[in-house]
Structures are given as structure tokens and as C-alpha cells.
Amino acid sequence: MTALQVLIVDDDPALLQALPETLRLRMNGVAVDTADSAVAALERISAREYDAIVTDIKMPGMDGLTLLAEILARRPDTPTLMITGHGEYDLALRCLRGGAYDFIEKPIDRDRFVASLYRAIQAHALNRRVEDRRSALERCAIELEKIAENLGRAEARILIVDDDPALLQALPETLRLRMSGVTVDTAGSAVAALECISERDYDAIVTDIKMPGMDGLTLLAEILARRPDTPTLMITGHGEYDLALRCLRGGAYDFIEKPIDRDHFAASLQRAIQAHALNRRVKDRREALGRCVSELELVVLKLGRDRGPTPVRGEP
């Protein structure tokens, strides 16, 4: 467990020796620094964040109230306990109104001092835990918003694969007339298609089955191996139902019969693109949430290691 840090500020050498000794006897897991002036305290505060600060009010030069204002300006989350003289209630009230966590009267009751300091450290740890979790959740929310924004703006990209130049010209034109926000690439063979797939992730792929060299079914298997989330539509001849069934069993999203019904083709492709977008959105958000959960678990683990001190005589 990381030792918690407390700073004690006083111009009285006896108190600078007695108070750390009090904490060593009554609390575990606390390291104590001392400063004999407000100026020296500010140097320490600039170099390190403390879990609590204890300071006398009446000190030569910069007094404790001025130091309190500086602490609040530089380390606003750090609780500060002020040491006041017996009966100085107006001064104690000024401390609390000025932002002090508590005040301790002289002569100092050691048990009350330890109890108040313990509460201050616990409050600081809780505030830090809340702030760390809030920051982590904000980062997660920003990441998820970016994912949603990118998915909303992304233009769908389609790859059409066919060895027929006429279809490679007609199908992109069909999509331009019937769908908005779609970019179409074409490939004249399965080999050319695999090169395109290696370079880019498509929202949907349309391929003829019967092509020289590598046919559409073999290409489908390659697509599933390389881009398993990308829906693939297969172009079949009219009445080739056995072939269409093989496509669907082989992992195709749908099949399109020749001669191609342009409206049916565009509608099926639109459904494929939407399904791909939904799957990608779910996957991206799941991954983002996974990263968020991991980050929050690290925060919890860290704060678990850094939990407050354990009083030697039981919790005050």
C-alpha cells in the first residue's frame, strides 16, 4: 500500500517533533513531512500532492490563513486542518469560512487530532476516487461519441466483382441512381478483388459466381477468412437454386438472380450495408466499453492499494 502523505506546518520545533511522533504511534500507513514556515510549506506543496495538511495559524511572515488561501488556490482538493489557540473561536470560524476542513485547539488533544486528521484523509481519498472515476467515465463517453459520430458520417463503400464489363458499368450506375452516400469500387476478377479486400474494409461485396480462374464460391471463402464481418451478395443464373443454396450455406448474405432486378438488388444491398453498420457499431462500442471497464478496474485497483491509513488503536 502506498504511504499517505501528511504535511505539518509550524514554527514551533517542539510541535514539529511531537505531532509526527503522535501520528507514528496512532496511525499506520502515513508518512509525515514538516515545514517550519508557510514559505517552506508552499515549496513542498508545489513539489508534491498531500493527502492532508496541518498548519498553525500564528506564524511569523506569512500566517496560516494566508497559507490556507494559497493551498486552496494550488491544491483545492487537499483538506487543511488549522491549529488555533484555546478560546479563539472567531479565528476558528474564519478558518472554516476560509475553506479549512477543521480546526484543532491548543493545547492539542492527541486523540481528537488523530480522529480529525483521519476523517480528512478519508474524505480526500473519497473525493479522489469520485474524481478519478468521473474522469474515466468522461473519457469513455467521449470515445463512444466519436465512434457514433464516425459511423454516422462514414460513406458506405461497395466492391462489385464480375468479369463482364457491361455489368461492372451498369451496377455502379444503378447504385448511384437508387442509393445516396455510397462509393463503388469494381474488380474484373477474383484475384483483383482480393487485392482490393487486402487494402480496404468494405461495407458489402457483390460478386458473380461464374468467373474464369477463381470462381465466386472460392472468393466467398477467402472473403470470410479475411473479412468475416463483411456481407457478400452472390450473383447467380436464373433457376440455379442449388447453386444459390450453396452460396447461403457457404456464408453469403444473399443471392441475386440474373437477369438482375435493379430495385431488388439495391434493396438487398441496402439491408446488407445496414446490417454491417449495426454489427460494426456493436463491435466498436463493445471494444470501447471493454477499454473503459479495464480503465475503471485499474482506477479501482489503484485506489484499493491507496486506501486510507489504519489507526493503530482501531478507527477513531
Same domain, 109 and 183: no
Bridging pattern class, strands 232-236 and 254-257: parallel
Partners of 262 in beta bridges: none
**Which of residues 145, 174, 208 is at a domain's end?**
145
Does a structural domain hold residue 63? yes
Dump the DSSP string for 85-131: -TT-HHHHHHHHHTT-SEEEESSP-HHHHHHHHHHHHHHHHHHHHHH
CATH of the domain at 75: 3.40.50.2300
Extract the residue ranges of the chain whose pLDDT is less than 70: 1-2, 143-144, 146-154, 289, 292-293, 295-316
Same domain, 166 and 237: yes
- The pLDDT value recorded for residue 309 is 55
Same domain, 224 and 186: yes
Same domain, 70 and 190: no
Does a structural domain hold residue 307? no
- The pLDDT value recorded for residue 155 is 76
Does a structural domain hold residue 128? yes
Same domain, 272 and 167: yes
Angle, nearest 10°, between helix axes 64-74 and 89-97? Answer: 10
- The pLDDT value recorded for residue 170 is 92
Same domain, 86 and 42: yes
Same domain, 178 and 226: yes
Q: What's the pLDDT tens digit per position in 159-199?
A: 999 999 999 999 999 998 888 878 999 999 999 999 999 99
What are the φ/ψ torsions at residue 36 (nearest 5 degrees)?
-95, 10
- The pLDDT value recorded for residue 91 is 86
Same domain, 8 and 141: yes
Does a structural domain hold residue 302? no
Does a structural domain hold residue 314? no
Structural domain tally of the chain?
Answer: 2
- The pLDDT value recorded for residue 299 is 61
Does a structural domain hold residue 310? no
Does a structural domain hold residue 308? no
Show the cell assigned to 305.
492499494
- The pLDDT value recorded for residue 180 is 81
Amino acid identity of residue 166, one-letter, is A
Does a structural domain hold residue 193? yes
Partners of 156 in beta bridges: 182
Q: Report which DSSP code applies to 154.
A: P
Same domain, 27 and 60: yes
Q: What is the distance between the alpha carbons of residues 303 and 307, in angstroms, rounded to a whole number?
A: 6
Q: What is the distance between the alpha carbons of residues 258 and 236, in angstroms, rounded to a whole number?
A: 6
Query: Where in the sequence is the domain holding 237, given as residue range(s)?
Result: 154-294
Same domain, 123 and 213: no
Same domain, 63 and 108: yes
Show the cell assigned to 157.
463503400
Q: What is the distance between the alpha carbons of residues 29 and 3, in angstroms, rounded to a whole number?
A: 5
